[in-house]
Chains A and B, each alone.
Chain A
Amino acid sequence: MAIERRSITRVGDPAPDITLTALDGRRIGLRDFRGSRLVVFCWASW
């Protein structure tokens, strides 16, 4: 299986265009927050 070489997002780069599913089923993308300052907080139940 060929691996695509992908670049890593760093400070100064545009945020990745990622869309994830919320607990209520809505799809929310990082792009949806354009126009505001955003804090993304990643955590886990483990």
Chain B
Amino acid sequence: MWQQFVERNKETGVKLLSVAMDVQGPAKALPYVQKTKTTFPTVVDVENELGKAFNFKAIPNGIFVDEQGVVRYTKFGGFEIRKPEDAQRAEEWAKGKASAELAVMSQAEAAKGMKHPEALEFYDRGLVLYREGRVQEAVALWRKVIDVEPDNFIVRKQVWAVEHPERFYDGAVDFAWQREQMAKGQ
């Protein structure tokens, strides 16, 4: 559907960058992208660099950046091209809608970030361990992030995906299982 957006708005010159937030790397994101040919790039944010820079904890997100590289709009969580209001916002942005109005709209979508002072440290240390192959120790640290930041779904879902890959990567994502996990306080 983003491909359709890009094609519809080709004359505006708007650019799209698709970012897969997947700590386990490009191999996980690839099947989702290969299904449709796209004329925009898809990158993989394996170390949650965008999440840390913007302090967002939920996806899907929209971030609009202007020609000078200034951020003009953000919506963290629930931003989808299939939603009329999000599609409209993206189209208006492509067509050159005034930045001030978008900034006001962004304030209504204020990001919730990692408030607990140790959360970021646990997260970063977990990432180092994960890269070293010390997966269980990494997960233990990431669970500490979830303990102090229970609404951080990026980290929670990464832990689930690492511990239960069969629920995420073998076909359809098992959302019923995810709901069970939440009910169990996992």
- Which residues in A have some Cβ–Cβ distance to B below 8 Å? 1, 3, 6, 8-16, 18, 20-23, 26, 28, 30-31, 33-46
Q: Which residues of B contact A (CB under 8 A)?
A: 2, 12-22, 26, 28-33, 41-46, 49-50, 52-56, 59-74, 79, 81, 90, 93-94, 96, 102-103, 106-107, 111, 113, 120-121, 124-125, 154, 157-158, 160-161, 168-169, 173
Question: CB-CB < 8 A to A42: which residues of B?
Answer: 19, 21, 45, 50, 56, 59-61, 63
Assembly CA distance A25 to B74 (angstroms): 27
**Across the interface, do A20 and B121 meet the contact criterion of CB distance under 8 Å?**
no
Determine if A44 and B65 form an interchain contact, defined as CB atoms under 8 angstroms apart.
no
Q: Are A18 and B72 in contact (CB under 8 A)?
A: no
The main secondary structure of chain B at its interface with chain A is mixed
A-B contact count (CB 8 A): 176
Verify B15–A26 contact, CB threshold 8 A: no
Bound CA span A33–B64, Å: 11
Give chain A residues whose Cβ lies under 8 Å from the Cβ of B111. 8
Q: Is the CB of B64 within 8 A of A23?
A: no
Chain B residues positioned under 8 Å from A1 (CB to CB): 121, 125
User: Across the interface, do B71 and A13 meet the contact criterion of CB distance under 8 Å?
Assistant: yes
Q: How far is the CA of A39 from the CA of B2 in the complex (A)?
A: 10
Q: Does the CB pair A46–B62 fall under 8 Å?
A: no
What is the bound-complex CA distance between A38 and B104, given in angstroms? Answer: 18
Smallest CB-CB separation from B24: which chain A residue?
Answer: A45
- Complex: chain A residue closest to B76, CB-CB: A42
Cβ distance B22 to chain A, nearest Cβ, rounded Å: 6
B93–A14 touching, CB < 8 Å: no
What are the 8 A-B residue pairs with the smallest beta carbon separation, nearest first?
Answer: A20-B43, A16-B53, A42-B61, A40-B63, A38-B65, A8-B55, A11-B106, A43-B60
Given A38-B16, A41-B2, check contact A46 B161 (CB 8 Å): yes
**Distance (whole angstroms) from the CB of A17 to the closest CB of chain B:** 9
Task: A38 to B69: give the CA distance in the assembly, Å.
Answer: 9
